[in-house]
Structure 1
């Protein structure tokens, strides 16, 4: 149970995130070409780095970034059906699988070339290949990574994900202008965290957001296999499968998303319920994106050093190239 004093710690950050969401929604009506998601993210980054970088905001923005976003992902289940998932077929699964393998291979190879420890390269590989910080949190105890290594890689992966979140929508529109499936697949297959995928997808609209999130969910479900692999082929003799924290492997919101999708596929749900779920989920998502922007510390990128920045940019560039190759191959 949270005490009243602890709850109060969350209020400032939540209120700030909600205010940015509301302002973003209003501004998007004036300049609809940009969209509320883009406005919320950029506003959060600017305001967070100039005015709101005190710890007073961190509890609430952390709650919005994690919990509200996870709920919004579950509500996206009302927008999909089993039939829509089947339309992606084996091609979608193979696209994600090959992209995961390619990203892990390049990340570990480049990390070794730049002189990073094997533990750091494993965390970098898994974080970029699957789902950012969540994947790193799952793999870190398996390979006995210390908190310093873990913190640096999480910072780098989150910064890289933010760059891709803002840049990938432009790239996919230029390369796959009239193909929402390819646009959503590349966004869902490359960008690091669920929140960043939601941000990039929202910039391009609801249809592409739904496709991107489906591909992201497929990607997250491969985390179990990746963790099992590194539990046997980790970085030290002491690692073993007993260290796996299974409840972290498949997050609750992935299960919720799939369950609602199944219910939506086989049971009649009124259009009003689906519309309300969509609208509420959108408000939660934009609030979470505002919080993500508020929590992004741009100065952290410069503090990490040139070699780490080079590592991140190299991995990010390889993900983009691999995704474009594999999307051409499978679609």
Structure 2
């Protein structure tokens, strides 16, 4: 470990991240409508931009927050694999699986094109497309690693997937009530159109256990696309970079760990208590990572550049919701 990241230098930032996670959990307990991950991003934004804490974020907290934003996110992605059972996915049937995978490809393509049409800079189009089509912040982290991007380059995409994933928790149940959707159709829609797994659960559970069960399995098909999409992102980066210099691995090590966790869950080696504990640790790691990422965002710069990103994200998400609803009505039997 480099001297800049020795344990004593890491402790202040890690302590700040841990304190932020405690605050977010307490806030979520008091106000369940506020997701923990959303609260973590907002708290990070405040910490990184308010005069009282901004100096600490840029100074003594920086090594620990950088570690949290990068390494904790990757560890959380590995643990995310323990939620994916290939047996559960197989229960959907091959036609549903193929169409969901095609929906992921469509969502990625349309989001990328919309972001390019809005002239979003740099890697933002591919990162937002990854987050919207697969699994939110996890996909952004995997693709960013495959393309060797710095954490601050992911700030706007993370803000967009967090904002619209939270937006979905309130909007999709209202849309369902307006259209009179059956519970299973709403569950499929939630699993196909909402970003992070936690946001899918928060959205789908409003329609009952049947909707929640289907939503989670549909979502897991999308999560499984994390590995091939990050590999394609890495391959594109290699070709664009040429043969000069040290290239990143085609599949980052933590994505391989994610695949290993998927196999472990599918084989059924771990007891339910261990899976529940892993899910809790994953949530804590993601919250700490998003707090760290939030502190790296310059709010003034985000306000200046975030308008086009928000507009592009709204257009993309609306198209994805429409396509997901059409697929749900096609595939889910309505009694």
Alignment of 1:80-119 (within 5 A): 81-107=85-111, 109-110=113-114, 113=117
Displacement of 1:168? 1.8
- For residues 142 and 37 of structure 2, what CA distance do their matches in structure 1 show? 22
Aligned to 2:252: 248
1:21 has 2:21 as partner = yes
Distance 1:34 1:212, change over 3 A: farther
Displacement of 1:95? 4.0
Q: Which one of the candidate residues 221, 228, 249 is aligned to 1:222?
A: 228
Whether the 8 Å contact between 2:37 and 2:290 is mirrored in structure 1 is yes
Distance 1:32 1:3, change over 3 A: same
**Aligned-CA RMSD value:** 4.4
Say which is worse superposed, 125-134 or 5-14, in terms of deviation. Answer: 125-134
Distance 1:249 1:227, change over 3 A: farther
Residue by residue over 1:211-248, the C-alpha shift from the partner in whole angstroms, topping out at 9 and shown as x without a partner, is 5762342221331674499589x889x79xx9784133
Displacement of 1:167? 1.0
Q: TM-score, normalised by structure 1?
A: 0.69
Distance 1:235 1:182, change over 3 A: same
Displacement of 1:256? 3.4
- For residues 251 and 12 of structure 1, what CA distance do their matches in structure 2 show? 29
Distance 1:165 1:62, change over 3 A: farther
Distance 1:71 1:211, change over 3 A: farther
Whether the 8 Å contact between 1:95 and 1:327 is mirrored in structure 2 is no
Whether the 8 Å contact between 1:68 and 1:284 is mirrored in structure 2 is yes
Distance 1:88 1:212, change over 3 A: closer
Displacement of 1:20? 1.8
Displacement of 1:170? 1.8
Alignment of 1:224-303 (within 5 A): 226-227=232-233, 245-248=249-252, 251-264=255-268, 267=269, 269-303=270-304
Distance 1:3 1:114, change over 3 A: closer
Distance 1:121 1:68, change over 3 A: closer
Aligned to 1:157: 157
- For residues 275 and 309 of structure 1, what CA distance do their matches in structure 2 show? 35
Aligned to 1:200: 199
Q: TM-score, normalised by structure 2?
A: 0.68
Aligned to 2:58: 55
Distance 1:43 1:85, change over 3 A: same
Whether the 8 Å contact between 1:66 and 1:288 is mirrored in structure 2 is yes
Say which is worse superposed, 1-10 or 62-71, in terms of deviation. Answer: 1-10
Q: How many residues of Structure 1 are paired with residues of Structure 2 in the alignment?
A: 310
